[in-house]
Amino acid sequence: MIRTPDIYKVAEATWPPASTQRIGPWMIRDGQGGGKRVSAATAEAAVQPADLGQAETAMEALGQTPLFMVRNGEDALDQLLENAGYEVIDPVAVYAIPISEIATQRPPPISAFTIWEPLKIMEELWAEGGIGPARLAVMARVKGPKTGILGRVNDRAAGTAFAAIHEKTAMIHAIEVTDTQRRQGTAINMMRETAFWAQDHGADTLVVLVTEANAPARALYASLGMKVVENYHYRIRSAETSRSS
């Protein structure tokens, strides 16, 4: 199973920011609208209260609202941000499974396909779920093995997702199933098809990130035998809290 420190390396490689810069103890990310994971600053060394302004200034210079990712064990950072008026937003659970345990049963014929570059219908399905050009640009930046996944049910396109591999870990992102076609197995079929694709490309672990509030998705991953292996959350100033992700 993937080691905890590697999860963040995999996440960065398979959903990369446009650029990064090290400023003092901070890693600053230019997300260019690609979501919290590519925009949040992280602490790469011990942080003192006086260091907070460096990160805030750097993110504001990029046109980004100051946002911080707090990983397990970063209790001092968490307290510093709380004291500075930052509140928790979007706690995330990291699910993982050995691919040998999920690549056991092929999805039904023509129910899921791996495709790169994305088809127009895939872009339309993503757009329905709020995954627009900025997040498609994140996918385009990935350097390693990657694929889109198209799910079908009732003779029509029903869902899409993106997956990429870093070293021997595959991470699946941007899972979207159209509202009218949910609860018909599309997400399960896409997850299994991704597992077989990843296995064919040398991966041995499949990982997915999900907000803790997304109970249906968490139930889906648990039903596939995936286990929570890590948690993290973001902090943002309470007056600026947004539900975008």
Hey, what domains does the chain have and what are their CATH numbers? 4-93+232-240 (no CATH), 96-230 (3.40.630.30)
Strand 169-177 to strand 156-166: parallel, antiparallel, or no bridges (unpaired)?
antiparallel
Residue 1's pLDDT is: 57
Q: Can you tell me the distance from the alpha carbon of 49 to that of 72, in angstroms, rounded to the nearest whole number?
A: 20
Residue 72's pLDDT is: 93
Residue 3's pLDDT is: 65
Low-confidence ranges of the chain (pLDDT < 50): 241-245
Residue 182's pLDDT is: 75
Residue 140's pLDDT is: 98
Residue 88's pLDDT is: 97
Give per-residue pLDDT as tens, 187-233. 999 999 999 999 999 999 999 999 999 999 999 999 999 999 999 99
Residue 245's pLDDT is: 37
Residue 242's pLDDT is: 42
